[in-house]
Structure formats: structure tokens, C-alpha cells
Structure 1
């Protein structure tokens, strides 16, 4: 993609971002190891961070050291379903604690290709059920828990919202979808390869979806919980915020999903950031464009919470 297509504030940083051949199993393994070892626990004033295992699933808990608002949030990290860890979002999860008095539970779900579908969504569902069952001891009201995620985690968040809805019980208060990876069929579009989207391109997208779904990618047998854009009926779901950059690979599939949510009667706030690439707010948080993006998200969260008072 030509540099003049990228937001001026992000152009230089994006140009320096490394391109990794994650289709190479040795490189993928090395990236997983380096990511795990390099992610250091942040010490954030006002936030207590702890970890535990729930039925074999590792979770990371961010609690306010001061007064709790009795609000919770289940966070799901990104990484194309093949890399990443809960620890890498210490900053984002701590921000939720300090901004809203929330208790945040982040899921260290199993990664593909070693663990294919439904491992990741099963782990997220396990974490959700644990959060619901232990809400009172965490000083959270179980009916006031958001589900949120970035990129592949955004896709898992959307799928988890579907699964929670279908299972009955207490629904999520709202869903917060940061540039979610929703549709495996995008990965089968070879016309998108030539665009070379910054940060996450369609060649990498095919690597991620193939690792998760195997040869089923793009075919007729992919379950809704694997690729939430495939779900036909979106009615009855909790309110949604969806944020996406206009030059993000997922731009088209995310716009279509947001429009389908609205058409199904689901409250949905869609924020499209002009000339912004994938993951820009997380990778380059100290920019005005990233701060404006997060402000739009925060306003949505505050509006949802205001209705609960």
C-alpha cells in the first residue's frame, strides 16, 4: 500500500513495522516464544493484577485497588488466532480499570495451529462462565459485564456473544469489537493480496484462518462460532461498538457486520477512522488519531453504563 494512503500521523511508524513470514512454522514458533517472554507485567497505580487457572484455562485478572463500580469486562487478545497472550494487553485492560472502576478478566486462550477450532472459543466460554459464577466475590454484578476483544480477539468476542446468547442465562451488557476478524471468506480472496494492507495483510489472514480451521477455510461447513460473520440471525444480541480503520483489511467485513447488526435491531455504534490501518491504536497509542478513536469508544461505554444507573 502506498504511504500516502496511510494517515500522516501514523505513516512513519507503520513504515518501520516489521513484516514477519508467519506461514513459516519455525518463525511462528519463534514469534510465540519472543512475544511470551518480552511481554512484561505493567505496574499501574490503582490496578492489582493476578493470574489463575480455571478448568485448565489461564486467565489474567485486573482489579481496582480502590472503589469498584461493580462493572466487569471480559477481554480477548488479538494475534490472528496464532500468536499473542493476555499479558500483551496489560495497558488496555488497566485503562478500563482506571477509567471505569471495572474488574477485567483477560483470557489466555489456546492458539492455533496446535489447538484448532473450537479450542479458542471454548476457552473464552469457560472464562465467561467462571466470571459469571464468581462475579459477587469480584465485586461485580453479573448482569453488568461487557465482552471485548481486539482483532482475532474481536472475532472471538463476537462469537462468544453469540454463544452466550444461544445458551441462555445472563447476556453480556454490551460487546466492544476492535477491528474484529469475523469472516474466514475474506482470506480466500486472492484479489486482496496485492493491496498489501499494513500490519495485517490477507496473506497473513489466510495463515491465521487456515491454522484455526484447516482445509475448511472458505468452505460451506465453517460453523458460526468459528466465523461470526457467517451467522444469519443477529437479532436479540446486546448493544455493540465496532471500531475499524478505513485501510484495515477487515474494513469491508466489519462494515457489513455492523450494518447487519443495525438491520437486525441491535444498537450498534460504528466508528470508522479514515486512513487508519489495523491495530493502530494499540501499536501507536500516543497519537492524536489513536486518542480520538479511544475517546469514541469510551463515550459508548459511558453511555451504556449511564443507562444502568
Structure 2
């Protein structure tokens, strides 16, 4: 027996479609929306590529502006195919500290080693130590596996020269954004499978991981003012050629293809809810957890691809920078008791209503242990 209450049958929309049959999108953060709404759709084309590369030619001088105390030198690193890539090395002080290897983004087709590096130079100022960033060769002139092998060569070189570069190899973070996040994930997989030294952690900003270009979030952003499905297809095709989307793609080039994500270092992933890469990034984090790994995932509501550049002073940017900063602190300082107990004051407040500092949190935890 069914009860209809005299109502007409409800029309069920197709998954991923609204009642008009259109693909809806998550709402944008209000600060991001101001910029996003002012920009026209602009998918990347081959004709645009020279101008894009010229416009994204960042410099060491600009990256270092106002960051006193950092030195910059260059090294030449041999690659797997007998070529060489340039590696920039930034250092502060003469002691031994941590290290960060930064891999720039740019859809595999543009950008240089100074693109997006400044926040990580600021981390080196904070923690001391060394930052290295490679000038990996770009597609389509240099197709897969050249970009990831270039980055792996720089990674291996850095570990081999840790003493000369002034860093502790146990405190090494591998980081990258967008295409650089893809390459960082690929390097981490290569290091695992080649039994090479492991990074202490891997930080991936809105990583570009899946060449198949067919997720829900990709379809939501077929065309957009920022990176979109059409641009993504262009970038992946530049890297992989006719292999894109087939079974002939290596997980080192497109890490979403990896069937086993265990055995990796702790990973931090951040992505906006309005980013075409949202679903592949969430799936990658899920795969890490499935295979027993450690991943901290942040999906920022209303964030588009690379929203930090759109809204550098917005609350969304502040939130993601804070999460990265706290994660880097924990990875680089695993034995710091204050970082190990940094969540206890909030727990004490929740359970007792009292405000305490980190020491008070430790005392509260110890009292709980004794009462068991």
C-alpha cells in the first residue's frame, strides 16, 4: 500500500544535473567570486602558449624581494636521458636545517622554477635550511617521462649533496602546485619504487593528477576563466600525446593511475571545491587512506584553481596557508612536544569549559591517564 497524498510524482534529476538538465557548480567564495566574475572564459590554445610563457617568466630577484638573508646559487644536474637541468638553491645561515624542494605549476606547459616559490622561501626563513627548485623541461617540446624524470634527478641530487647543501635529509619536504603537484606525487612514487630516500612529507597544492579528464568536477568546469577541462586536455595531451586517456599511461606521469598508494610519506593536499581537480584530489587522498597511508586533505569551500592568487588576502587563502604552515611545522619538528599536543587546549575547553595552554593540556592528559 502506498500513500501519495494526492501529489504528482517527483521528477528525479539525473546525478550531476539540475532540473533543467544543466551541470550545476558549487558556489564561489565571495572574495574569489568578485575576481572570477570579471574574467572571461579563456581555455589554453597552442596559439596562446608563447605569450603565456613570456607572461609567467618569474625571476629570482622578484621571488627574493624583501626576504633578507637568503642566498641564491645555481647547480647543473644530469638527467636520465643525458641532458642537464638547472637547479636553484636558496639557503639561509651556515648551519644544518631542513629542506624543501619546490616544483612549479603551469599545466606542464609553462612557468619556471621561480613560479610560486615565495611562500616556501618564507618557510626557509622561518625554519632555516635550504630550498631547491628545478627548471624541469616543459611539454610539448619535452613529453613524458622527461618532466618527472627531470624532477626526480633533482630530488636524488639534493639527497646526494645534503651535507654540502646544509640540510638534514630526515627533514626534507617535497612540494608542488598544480602540474608541480603532479610531478611531486610522481617523484614520491618513483622514490618509493626505486628504494630511494623518502621525503619526510609531500605537500600538494591543487595537484593535477588524472589525464583522463572525466570526473564530475572536470565536467563542471568544461570552460572557465581559470584552468578548465579544455585547458586540462591541452596540457595532458602536450605531455602524453596520443596516449592520453588510454591504458598506456604511467602512474609516475599521471599519479591518479597508481593502483597502490601505500608506502608514501605523509601527504598534505589542498584544493578548492570549485576547482576542476577537486574530485581527482579527493580520490587520491582516499586511495592513500585505503592503502594505509597518512594524508591530510583540505577542500576549501568556494575556492577555484589557484585561488590564492585571486584573493591573496581573503579568509579562504588565510585558512589554507594556516593549514600548510601547521603541517610543515609538524613534519619538520616531529619531536617538538608543543606541536604534538597543540590540539589539547581545545579538547580541555570542550570537556571542561576551562582555558589552558599547551602545558595545561599535557597535565590534563596525564591526569586522564592516571585515572584509567
* TM value normalised by structure 1: 0.91
Unmatched tracts of structure 1, length 5 or more = none
Corresponding residue for residue 158 of structure 2: 131
The question of 1:230 aligning with 2:251 is answered no
Query: Considering only CA atoms, is the larger Rg found in Structure 1 or Structure 2?
Result: 2
CA distance, structure 1, for counterparts of residue 192 and residue 40 of structure 2 = 39
How far 1:297 moved relative to its partner? 1.0
Unmatched tracts of structure 2, length 5 or more = 1-22, 79-83, 337-372
Q: Deviations over 1:223-243 (max 9, x none)?
A: 111100111111111111111
CA contact under 8 A between 1:72 and 1:103: conserved in structure 2? yes
2:85 to 47, 57, 60: 57
Aligned length: 307
The question of 1:80 aligning with 2:102 is answered no
Q: Deviations over 1:273-300 (max 9, x none)?
A: 1010011124432222112111011111
How far 1:33 moved relative to its partner? 2.4
Corresponding residue for residue 294 of structure 2: 267
CA distance, structure 2, for counterparts of residue 46 and residue 277 of structure 1 = 34
Give the structure with the higher percent helix: 1
Corresponding residue for residue 32 of structure 2: 10
Q: Structure 1 residues 115 and 282, CA, compared in 2 at 3 Å: closer, same or farther?
A: same
* TM value normalised by structure 2: 0.77
Q: Structure 1 residues 102 and 6, CA, compared in 2 at 3 Å: closer, same or farther?
A: farther
How far 1:36 moved relative to its partner? 1.9
CA contact under 8 A between 2:52 and 2:110: conserved in structure 1? yes
Q: Structure 1 residues 187 and 98, CA, compared in 2 at 3 Å: closer, same or farther?
A: farther
CA contact under 8 A between 1:145 and 1:172: conserved in structure 2? yes
Matches within 5 A, 1:275-294: 275-294=302-321
Does the residue aligned with 2:232 lie in a helix, a strand or coil? Answer: helix
Does the residue aligned with 1:225 lie in a helix, a strand or coil? Answer: coil
The question of 1:209 aligning with 2:233 is answered no
CA distance, structure 1, for counterparts of residue 305 and residue 102 of structure 2 = 18
Corresponding residue for residue 44 of structure 2: 22
How far 1:181 moved relative to its partner? 0.4
Corresponding residue for residue 182 of structure 1: 209
1:164 to 187, 191, 212: 191
